[in-house]
Structure 1
Amino acid sequence: MSDKPTAVRVYLARVRTALADLPASEIEEILEDVRPHLAELEADLGEGARVEALIERLGTPESYAAELRASGGYPPPSEGAATVPAAAPASPSLLKPRIALWGLMISAAALTLIAFAAAINVEPDALIAIVLPAPVFLISLALLLRGGVEPVLALPEMARLRTSLGRLREQEEGGKALRYLGSLRPAWWVLCALALLTFGVLLMLRHRQAVLLLPFLLVAGVAAVWAGPRLRTDRRLLWVAVPVSAFVIGGALGGFGAAVDLISNRNAYQSASPYYQSSSDQYGNDQLTYGGQSVGNVYAFDAEGKPLTEVYLYDEEGRPITVTRYGCERSSGTKEKIGSDNRFPRPRIQLGVTDDQGNFDGYNGYRSACREDPNVPFSAAIPKVTTPSTASPTTPPSPSAPSSTSAPTAPPTTTPTR
């Protein structure tokens, strides 16, 4: 039983033959590095695993040897090497493998941009654009499943990538960086799952209809955790791991951009007018305060108690008192920032729901609604104040007529005597 060669021994024997042009010490070092990985893969496949199962996972021994040769920075095989005839059949058609590879790359780039747009605006509607790269990805996946991953890995561009990585590993700093990144791979897949879950929750809190996206993001997170650790043994899982990673990276960049935008909006007014101080709300938007409390609107009335419109506020230096203006976002029924100015009064923003007939604040409401009310919510009784300028003409005594206050100074004859 011990004389029967195992699948790993047969596979490694063919790898050794494909590397026969290298020095014997180098061949032994390469085989010692890959033997534990192959043994682990054979254990996963179960007892009695055949060489064909290893070829299905890793490709032919000759192509695997070519990959090891390139990653180690070794020169290509000589003209008489045994690997040349084995590689010859792969050359006639590179179109389908190339479509499979670049379809994956294009889909990943598109997912990065879509996730960036959705995260920077915290807007789930941007995710609808996923339907655009979906056909490209499905074509790439179909070609992969039909032709296998080996023709893709044998493409010249993949060989150049492996050669570049091999040269980078030979450098001291580059090798350290690659080893460090490799040690972070298990944590990266868990981080991807957490990022997708967090992204879904944030979208759901901002827009309730985004709850429909949460299951898909959960499935993508679970797929990343499952596929990531298995990439070393099955490169077909790149078609799962690469799109998920691209989406997470795009979302992270978009979230960073949203944070920068929030901070810049908070400091924009202070940078524009450093002599005027105003308070800010929790989003960093400028606000007015009176008596230590936030003032969201200002109403002006004339002397007759009639409300004034199109009133513009300025401070004593002639600077506009510019604060954030809010309005209704019609598609989502939410209150959103639409700009900033010094024009008052502003419409009141009322949030509620609508019923089946579209009535606002319906009892059986089912859809979020937002309404802008331009009316003044109260009436003002303007007090009548007598100013010194209006009282002065009647207060002094007239020089041509006696004052009514002179009666007490009448002659004594008006007073009765006894």
Structure 2
Amino acid sequence: MNATTASDQTAPTRPIAETGPGAEAGLGAAADRAAAFAGAVRAQLADLPAEERDDLVDGLEADLVERLADGGELGDPIAYAEELRLAAGLPPRGEAAGARPRRTFRERADAVEERLSDWAEATAARKGAWDFIRSLRPVWWVLRGLGVALAVLFFTGFLVNVSGLPYPRSMTVAVLLGLVTTVLSVQWGRGKWLPKRWMVWLRRVGDVIAVFALVFLLGSIANLGAVSNDLASQPQGEPGLTSNAEQRISNIYAYDCSGKLLDGVRLFDQDGRPLTTTTGGPWGDGQQVDGGWDEQKQQSIEYGVNRLADPGAWNVFPLEEKRIDLQGNEVPGDADPIAAAPRDAVAPLSANCTAPGTTSDQAGPAAAPTPAPSATPTP
């Protein structure tokens, strides 16, 4: 009989690890499953940079093999990849750098506005200036409404040029339109009257239109000042005719020897060049041109080629004249150059004026009447 010690009788029995071909086959299957799972996880992380992806899956296969050896399950590789992203503080798949969905223009504009607001409020000085600018928003709302009204009047041809500045044909219509657009602009600025989301875009379009309209108006004022300075420094270079080098001549009326007003008179200078008071408008020959402003009658004046002349013949007088009152209405009767003449007739130059188209030789002395033969009495 073999002898045994006390220690041999009391020591617990340990399980003997399984060895042999079956155990090796089980480990190989677990490694294959772990490799396939890790490959699927890598595929879900393919949108990440290689270095960042390798950091996330480093040692993953060994951990998976150990889990399988302990009898655990691997689960879904897609969900596992999302858990790795969340643990690393990365956005979900599809929103990573290089694969983010394109933001709309509104989202970009809101982001820019938010960054500007954050920058403006970063310091006390900036915040004070920004608060002051925001307090001026009601002023911009009014200017925006007036700018949109000005743009509407301009593109509808409702403005005329008066001394270099845009002037409405009808002051009543212009005032009503300005009130409507201003009230609408103020309400939109307050966030009112915007039941539809697309109306917010309409408000921003109004901002752009107003900026261009106000720039146009300021440009007209600046151009008026530049032209005035140029004319003051070089009065001799002003086109057209002037009286005593001061008052500009806009129309000419000619009278014949007997004092009657003539129509269709062609004028030329000493060199045979057409004598004109204007060279026509910017839209081509024969079009109406701005004739300035009649301060006494409070009317704007437009001139056109004489009705008897060919298009572009601006040396035929008197020119057609059209006047427009403050309400934008054409003054009746003034289009007729004869009716618009300052004088219907003047005193004759001589009592012996010849008729138009004849000469004094052709007229000659008045022929004495030939007496009719007397009647012969019938016997």
TM range (shorter): 0.3 to 0.5
Larger radius of gyration: 2
- TM-score, with length taken from structure 1: 0.36
Q: Report the structure, 1 or 2, having the larger helix content.
A: 1
- TM-score, with length taken from structure 2: 0.38
